[in-house]
Amino acid sequence: MWMFSPAGRTNMSYIYVDWRERATMTPADAPAIETDGLTKRYGDTTAVSELTMSVEQGTVYGFLGPNGAGKTTTMRMLTTLTKPTSGAARVAGHPITDRESVTPHIGYLPEEPPIYDELTGREQLEYAAGLRDLPADVASERIAAHLERFDLLEDADRRIEGYSKGMRQKVGVIQAVLHEPAVAFLDEPTSGLDPRAARTMRETIADLADQKMTIFLSTHILPVVDALADEIGVLHGGELVAQGDPETLKSRAETGEVRSLEEAFLEVTQDHGEQAPETEPSAK
Ligand SMILES: Nc1ncnc2c1ncn2[C@@H]1O[C@H](COP(=O)(O)OP(=O)(O)OP(=O)(O)O)[C@@H](O)[C@H]1O
């Protein structure tokens, strides 16, 4: 269980009292995520091809790729929502074929957060907490703290049907991490957020990682990845075409020259001629 520090939102520091419970869910030496030849085909389309990767516990993994690269398909396989055609993966130490074992340890923010228009924000989060069997007192404390952090307290008792896209996104993210999963899969978490909310989101992700939650972060906003990721993987045409820590990816092996993450991204994905990714702010 966690709570805000007495200084509240101003110093943005969470205090997680009970993170050990989460940390022990994954065997101490097991990677948070490991895949071996993970492949998904839809008819003639190979969405993900022979993906082999490993993500350490308590790290932020930036998962990049142009549109159609296979990022969502990968996340859907790792969150047990779709079955691989071949290959294997373990999340939090459990094989993804064992859905019941994996799901208690993961949270997922998909592109469209699964929320109900007819509920209020607070009811939606209480519902999500109930699905995760959180005790009511723990749930209400966490919900209140998250709502405050994301500046949603005033709107918490309004129906979601009247929420903006950004407010929906905030609810979606909160419900993905409310149960303090070992691994959170976040697909474009800053989507629709204004600059202040986007900053809160980045700080929240950093805090969660500090408290040993593994964050699998997919976004086209490269500065967010540059700021947060311990490791980056670039998917292209379903294949992992580059992997490493941000500094290694940005330095050109031959010359040692350091380029921006955007330049590195464009270079490793240039063969197939995709457009430049969305950036924040625009690079030139
Ligand atoms: N249910 C499906 N049926 C058929 N093809 C699919 C399906 N889901 C994804 N694909 C195909 O798989 C490929 C990878 O799609 P995916 O949505 O995983 O990419 P992405 O990297 O998440 O893209 P974006 O950045 O645009 O969200 C694409 O060619 C897509 O058309």
Q: How far is the CA of 62 from the centre of ligand 1 (A)?
A: 18
* Residue of 209, 208, 228 whose CA lies nearest to 218: 228
Cβ of 69 below 6 Å from ligand 1: yes
135: region left, alpha or beta (phi > 0 left; psi from -120 to 50 alpha):
beta
Of 64, 73, 79, the one to substitute when testing ligand 1's pocket (max ligand atoms within 8 A of C-beta) is 73
* Residue of 259, 266, 238, 217 whose CA lies nearest to 84: 238
Evaluate if residue 131 carries a pLDDT over 80. yes
Cβ of 45 below 6 Å from ligand 1: yes
Q: How confident is the model at residue 192 (pLDDT cuts 50, 70, 90)?
A: confident
Per-residue pLDDT at 181: 95
| ipTM computed for the complex | 0.98
> Per the structure block, which two tokens stand in for 253?
């092996």
| Residues 252-272, mean pLDDT to the nearest whole number | 81
Closest-CA residue, ligand 1 atom 5, reads 42
- Cα angle 128, 132, 133 (rounded to 5 degrees) comes to 115
Evaluate if residue 271 carries a pLDDT over 80. no
Biggest alpha carbon–alpha carbon distance for the chain: 57
Q: How far is the CA of 69 from the centre of ligand 1 (A)?
A: 7
Instruction: Look at residue 103 and give its three-state secondary structure.
Output: helix
Cβ of 71 below 6 Å from ligand 1: yes
* Residue of 264, 275, 284 whose CA lies nearest to 67: 275
Q: Tell which atom from ligand 1 comes closest to the C-alpha of 43.
A: 4
| Residues 261-274, mean pLDDT to the nearest whole number | 78
Evaluate if residue 22 carries a pLDDT over 90. no
* Residue of 50, 53, 54 whose CA lies nearest to 37: 50
Cβ of 70 below 6 Å from ligand 1: yes
At 50-108, the pLDDT tens digits run: 999 999 999 999 999 999 999 999 999 999 999 999 999 999 999 999 999 999 999 99
Cβ of 72 below 6 Å from ligand 1: yes
Q: Indicate the average pLDDT of the chain.
A: 86
Q: How far is the CA of 39 from the centre of ligand 1 (A)?
A: 13
Closest-CA residue, ligand 1 atom 31, reads 68
